[in-house]
A and B are shown apart, each in its own frame.
Chain A
Amino acid sequence: MSLAFDLALCALILGTAGLAVAGGNLFGSVVFYIVYGVLIALAWVSLGAADVALAEAAIGAGVTGVLLIGAWQGMKDAGGLEAEITKSLPVRVLAGLGAAALGALVGFAILSLPGHDGLTGPVAENQPALDLGNPVTAVLLSFRAYDTLLETLVLTAALAAVWSLTPARFWGGIPGPKHITRPDGVMASFGRLLPPLGLLVAIYLVWAGADQPGGAFQAGTVLAAVWILIVLAGLRDEPRLSSLVLRLIVIAGPLVFLGAGLAGALAGLALGYPEGHARTLILIIEYALTLSIAATLALLIAGPARRAP
């Protein structure tokens, strides 16, 4: 893609970011943030990083946007949206100068970075031992697998933190309001039409993630979106948060991941994959992770319990 396209894209990115951060209308800012997220995904495509583009579009723009809209709605209902206080001009000038200085420092640091040979070489050398076609999956689930394990545990911890905000009388109850829709309306019809397609896309993303762009996180997000759609269409209610099956699903991914590392320990290599079994183990971990991530993301969006069990 040409320089003109990249320049136009960067200008659009900066413009929407400015409107998202400093715009007047709060809801408008949230919408502009979602647009900004999709533009960043385009920037990743232009850079040639398809996995990151998928993750940014799904998680950065999609899930974050839904969370922000939910927060806006929740705060509006509780009357907590406070009016903006315009700071005086000297404060604004000072803050602007500080931000500009920070940006200039970072920019200068970028410009003075020495050249490098890149890490594509070393990764490509060690990849054939894993029998995976996608180098990003190889890095995520083998070379830096420990980071990914901790990342899934961070997601679980965030879920526990969100649940800890439940008022005592609702503990273990059902999150979100009860959605009532007309049985033959548009919402209910799409709640029946789209989930099979979403399921197909999610399974394909995780299956193709081994050799092409894709992966567990992107697939898990699509699955979570499918569940949210079903709940919004009023076809199913959210499960009770005290349900044991639900908690097992949430924890299944990290457990399988840990188990794979321990299996390596039994084969003599602590937190490593036994020889020749790497691809099988990685695929099993990816599928378990997809399920857990889908459940965790859907529950994060649903929020703390609001109806008694």
Chain B
Amino acid sequence: MMEFLAERGSLFALTGAALIALGFYGFIMRRALIRRLIAFNVIGSGIFLLFGGTGYFGGGVDPVPQALIITGIVVALALTAFAAALAVRLARSGDDDDENPEAGR
């Protein structure tokens, strides 16, 4: 177990697992949209660390996991951008589209 931990890749992979747990807890427990976005991104980077840590082989991470992780980072960003715009629009919809005042909640 200790030699396993001493291997660099597994230490970071286990940190990734802990980050997934942390992000999951935050996503469930907090209501604010921005906190949920943060928790979602924490889960995402935890998954990437997990992926990269298990792909660590002989002094570096394999190129295929690296490419897939870069793709993942960009896709997570795309979703975060849309979610942020949606959150702001939701907060603003109270003032101009006044057919349904409850829609702003």
Contact = CB atoms under 8 A, between A and B. Distances in A.
Interface residues of B, number: 82
B102 interface: no
Contact of A106 (B50, B75, B96): B50
A232 B34 CA distance: 23
Interface in A71-92: 71-72, 74-75, 78-82, 84-85, 87, 91-92
Nearest to A96: B25
Contact of B64 (A26, A80, A144): A144
Interface string B72-105: 0111111111101111111110111100000010
Nearest to A145: B67
A105 to B, nearest CB: 8
A40 B45 CA distance: 8
A33 B91 contact: no
Interface string A228-253: 00000000000000000000000000
Interface size class of A (residues with CB under 8 A): 35 or more
B99 to A, nearest CB: 13
B78 A64 contact: no
Contact of A48 (B23, B61, B75, B97): B61
B34 A26 contact: yes
B97 to A, nearest CB: 8
Contact of A59 (B77, B86, B97): B77
A22 B29 contact: yes
Contacts of A79: 91, 94
B25 A99 contact: yes
A87 B61 CA distance: 41
Contacts, number: 275
A107 B81 CA distance: 30
Interface in A207-244: 215, 217
Main secondary structure of the interface of B (DSSP, over half): helix
Q: Which of A49, A116, A303 has the most C-beta atoms of chain B within 10 angstroms of its own C-beta?
A: A49
A67 interface: yes
B84 A68 contact: yes
Interface in A36-88: 36-37, 40, 43-44, 46-49, 51-52, 55-56, 59-60, 63-64, 67-68, 70-72, 74-75, 78-82, 84-85, 87
B49 to A, nearest CB: 7
Contacts of A60: 41, 45, 73, 76-77
Interface in A133-176: 135-136, 138-140, 143-144, 147-148, 151, 154-155, 157-158, 161-162, 165, 167
A151 B24 contact: no
A78 B18 CA distance: 35
A118 interface: yes
9 contacts: A6-B8, A68-B37, A75-B87, A79-B91, A80-B94, A99-B25, A120-B62, A158-B82, A303-B84
Interface of A: 3, 6-7, 10, 13-14, 17-18, 20-22, 26, 29-30, 33, 36-37, 40, 43-44, 46-49, 51-52, 55-56, 59-60, 63-64, 67-68, 70-72, 74-75, 78-82, 84-85, 87, 91-92, 95-96, 98-100, 102-104, 106-107, 110-111, 113, 116-120, 123, 135-136, 138-140, 143-144, 147-148, 151, 154-155, 157-158, 161-162, 165, 167, 215, 217, 297, 300-301, 303-304
Given A48-B59, A59-B77, 20 more contacts: A13-B19, A17-B22, A21-B23, A21-B35, A43-B15, A44-B52, A47-B61, A52-B52, A59-B74, A60-B41, A67-B77, A74-B91, A84-B31, A95-B28, A95-B29, A99-B21, A106-B21, A139-B63, A158-B78, A303-B85
